[in-house]
């Protein structure tokens, strides 16, 4: 059974299929009566459950209409993740390649 808040998200996102129909995070949070933090947790859970829920700061949230939209969102998340790893590498005073190699050894 789907959690009631997840069902509300699913119902709302039926109106936002395709990047051209994306909804800004603030508007989605308001529609669901959530804080932005709660929305991020809920959307993360939706993705973990298999929903093709995309997001990008320039557009908002949308359900992928096709493989290109999904790839667009994935590239954004990859870029953001690599940026965060570069910050970690700088804090550890290592290069990113060494950090990634170390991460593989530690997993």
Looking at residue 103, its pLDDT comes to 62
Report how far residue 47's alpha carbon sits from residue 60's, in angstroms, rounded to the nearest whole number.
15
Q: Distance between terminal CA atoms of the chain? A: 34
Please state, as a whole number, how many other Cβ atoms lie within 10 Å of the Cβ of residue 50.
7
- The 8-class DSSP code of residue 18 comes to S
What pTM did the predictor assign?
0.82
Residue among 59, 63, 57, 102 nearest 79 (CA): 57
- 15-59: per-residue pLDDT in tens? 999 999 999 999 999 999 999 999 999 999 999 999 999 999 999
Report how far residue 63's alpha carbon sits from residue 13's, in angstroms, rounded to the nearest whole number.
7
């Amino acid at each position: 059974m789907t959690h009631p808040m997840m069902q509300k998200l699913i119902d709302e996102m039926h109106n936002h299929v395709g990047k051209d129909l994306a909804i800004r995070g603030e508007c989605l949070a308001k529609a669901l009566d959530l804080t932005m933090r709660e929305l991020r947790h809920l959307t993360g859970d939706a993705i973990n459950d298999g929903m093709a829920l995309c997001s990008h700061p320039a557009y908002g949230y949308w359900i992928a209409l096709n493989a290109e939209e999904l790839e667009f969102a994935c590239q954004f998340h990859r870029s953001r993740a690599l940026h965060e790893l570069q910050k970690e590498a700088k804090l550890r005073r290592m290069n990113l390649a060494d950090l990634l190699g170390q991460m593989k050894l530690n997993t």
